[in-house]
């Protein structure tokens, strides 16, 4: 099964001519020879541009690869204009599946015989289509509200599981044979990705994620989350409020309505850091197809987020280390950054901190306090990879989603307002967050939060204190008993060893006397003594 899928992937790549995207200097003779041998798989899209060939290939391969294309589409600094433009079509312009099939799924999931029972209007043509699902515009019959109905693609789970299982097999080979395999932890990364993308196939989970993030940003002037009609949400169908914003990627339309682009970019950074550090629950699929900008109040712009199928979470330890790393970086305290990496176990404990500090300084100092438009992200990535390899930095699978989301945010900021100083925008937020976490206000807040628990336990404190003192008093007695038992055990072991040596000696002598034709009663007597000694040895050990 996996071999067939692997062959299919290779077939699609070759038939779309993607091997030609590899520069000639990186194609050794044996690769060119192997390509000529696969003569039955010619390039069928020679007349198409490189970007279109790549997009069509990813669409053909399915959702796992479309997700990869969506992430790449935000990196116009790394791609040619043709490839970036074509890949941006993967954000919400993937070919839709049959509308009749979508309507049948909606009727079956919502338990209705006809769509008119729930909707006064329903558009059969898909409003938008992505890798996992597609959406149809509709109007609710009960309150005449405009909504969208999101429907999962049929058979999508089997396709995704097959692709991810293949990726896991490849990852196992890479982890075993690559020199950096153990450090990069490809198996754990793919397993984390598998869990994430399979969670996305449960639309009930997406609705719950959206409701939680909406509650967190109820009073926010930075992010609006559409309303989810939870009574009409199922595992493969959800109904949510329809929004009429401007796609965040349509910079021309945003400028045409005189949007405050600087404030918009800053609020994007604010939303990201708020979700990560305040809520520990962040939208991890922030490609431009899922982000809109409200048409109202362009001078006070408001983001609109959709598609909450993929969310990320952080535990307290990772969140604290990340915040401290960011702050140390913003303060140019590269020594602190190096020490934090060692303390968290992200680099080996025996790492030379001075050397690691210098390597971080070499990467970070040239980009510090520069606007996004002046940063060569490709060069930064290359230096980061080289630094990670040199110091055996271990990949953290639980942070892969966060790193992907940070790439999305940085890519969006580059599109919206290239002059944005990402560092100065984020630094005040992190400083305030750290103050809230470790200052006197944070201490008072934690005590106040635990007050009900302590007030409930307070009457029990005298008894607990008395019991604790009694146990403390008995500790020396218990230790003495334990020490005596240890001594007795050692003595028993020594006696058992002594008897076993005697048993072995009597047994050997008895055998020798029998072999040299000595009187039988001598052999039997010594054998009996040997057996007795074996029994004594066993009793001492039992």
Residues of the domain holding 355: 314-452
The answer to whether residue 389 sits within a structural domain is yes
The answer to whether residue 190 sits within a structural domain is yes
β-sheet bridge partners, residue 247: 292
The answer to whether residue 461 sits within a structural domain is no
My answer on whether 44 and 183 are in the same domain is: no
The answer to whether residue 34 sits within a structural domain is yes
Distance CA 119, CA 127 (A): 16
Q: What is the pLDDT of residue 533?
A: 79
Which of 42, 57, 88 is where one domain is finished?
88
My answer on whether 178 and 284 are in the same domain is: yes
My answer on whether 58 and 106 are in the same domain is: no
Distance CA 276, CA 212 (A): 14
Which of 312, 333, 364 is where one domain is finished?
312
My answer on whether 376 and 510 are in the same domain is: no
My answer on whether 318 and 302 are in the same domain is: no
My answer on whether 163 and 288 are in the same domain is: yes
Distance CA 264, CA 300 (A): 8
Sort 372 into a burial class: Cβ within 10 Å, 0-12 / 13-18 / 19+: buried
My answer on whether 29 and 74 are in the same domain is: yes
Per-residue CA distances from 148 to 96, 140, 157, 228 (Å): 15, 10, 22, 10
Question: What are the residue numbers of the active site?
Answer: 285
Q: What is the pLDDT of residue 211?
A: 94
Which of 35, 57, 88 is where one domain is finished?
88
User: Per the structure, how many domains does the chain have?
Assistant: 4
Q: What is the pLDDT of residue 193?
A: 74
User: How many Cα atoms within 13 Å fall on the side-chain side of residue 73?
Assistant: 27
Token pair in block for residue 163: 């692709």
Q: What is the pLDDT of residue 396?
A: 67
My answer on whether 58 and 196 are in the same domain is: no
pLDDT along the chain (542 residues), means of 10: 69 77 72 77 80 82 74 65 77 80 91 90 88 89 91 84 78 71 70 78 91 90 92 92 89 90 88 85 83 91 90 80 77 84 78 86 76 62 67 70 76 79 74 70 70 73 76 79 82 80 80 73 77 79 68
β-sheet bridge partners, residue 224: 304
Longest dimension (CA), the chain: 118
My answer on whether 232 and 366 are in the same domain is: no
My answer on whether 388 and 475 are in the same domain is: no
Residue the block writes with tokens 């293949």: 166
My answer on whether 364 and 435 are in the same domain is: yes
């Amino acid at each position: 099964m996996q071999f067939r899928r692997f062959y299919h992937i290779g077939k699609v790549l070759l038939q779309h001519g993607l091997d030609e995207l590899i520069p000639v200097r990186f194609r050794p003779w044996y690769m060119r020879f192997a390509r000529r041998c696969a003569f039955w798989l010619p390039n069928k899209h020679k007349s198409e541009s490189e970007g279109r060939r790549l997009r069509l290939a990813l669409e053909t391969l399915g959702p796992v690869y479309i997700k990869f294309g969506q992430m790449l589409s935000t990196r116009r600094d790394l791609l040619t204009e043709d490839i970036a433009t074509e890949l941006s079509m993967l954000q919400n312009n993937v070919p839709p599946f049959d509308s009749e099939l979508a309507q049948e799924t909606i009727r079956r999931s919502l338990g209705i015989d006809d769509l008119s029972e729930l909707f006064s209007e329903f558009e059969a043509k898909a409003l938008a289509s992505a890798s996992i699902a597609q959406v149809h515009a509709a109007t609710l019959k009960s309150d005449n509200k405009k909504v969208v109905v999101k429907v999962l693609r049929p058979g999508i789970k089997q396709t995704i599981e097959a692709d991810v299982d293949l990726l896991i097999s490849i990852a196992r080979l890479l982890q075993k044979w690559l020199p950096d395999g153990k450090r990069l932890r490809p198996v754990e990364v793919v397993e984390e990705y598998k869990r994430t993308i399979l969670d996305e196939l449960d639309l009930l989970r997406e609705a719950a994620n959206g409701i939680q993030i909406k509650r967190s940003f109820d009073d926010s002037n930075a992010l609006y989350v559409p309303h989810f009609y939870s009574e009409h949400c199922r595992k493969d169908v959800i109904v949510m409020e329809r929004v009429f914003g401007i796609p965040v990627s349509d910079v021309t339309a945003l400028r045409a309505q005189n949007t405050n682009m600087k404030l918009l970019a800053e609020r994007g950074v604010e939303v990201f850091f708020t979700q990560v550090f305040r809520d520990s629950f962040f939208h991890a699929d922030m490609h431009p197809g899922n982000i809109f900008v409200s048409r109202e109040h362009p001078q006070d712009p408001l983001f609109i987020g959709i598609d909450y199928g993929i969310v990320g979470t952080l535990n307290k330890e990772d969140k604290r280390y990340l915040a401290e790393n960011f702050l140390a970086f913003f303060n140019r305290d590269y020594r602190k950054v190096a020490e934090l990496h060692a303390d968290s176990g992200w680099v080996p404990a025996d790492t030379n901190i001075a050397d690691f500090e210098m390597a971080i300084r070499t990467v970070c100092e040239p980009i510090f306090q520069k606007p996004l438009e002046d940063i060569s992200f490709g060069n930064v990535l290359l230096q980061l990879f080289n630094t990670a390899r040199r110091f055996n930095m271990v990949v953290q699978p639980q942070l892969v989603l966060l790193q992907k989301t940070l790439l999305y945010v940085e890519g969006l900021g580059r599109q919206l307002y290239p002059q944005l100083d990402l560092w100065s925008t984020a630094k005040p937020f992190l400083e305030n967050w750290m103050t809230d976490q470790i200052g006197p206000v944070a201490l008072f807040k934690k005590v106040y939060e635990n007050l009900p628990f302590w007030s409930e336990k307070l009457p029990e404190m005298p008894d607990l204190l008395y019991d604790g003192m009694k146990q403390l008093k008995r500790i020396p007695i218990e230790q003495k008993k334990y020490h005596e038992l240890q001594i007795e055990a050692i003595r028993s072991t020594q006696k058992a060893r002594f008897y076993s040596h005697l048993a072995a000696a009597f047994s050997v002598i008895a055998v020798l006397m029998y072999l040299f034709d000595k009187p039988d009663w001598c052999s039997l007597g010594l054998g009996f003594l040997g057996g007795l000694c074996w029994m004594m040895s066993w009793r001492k050990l039992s």
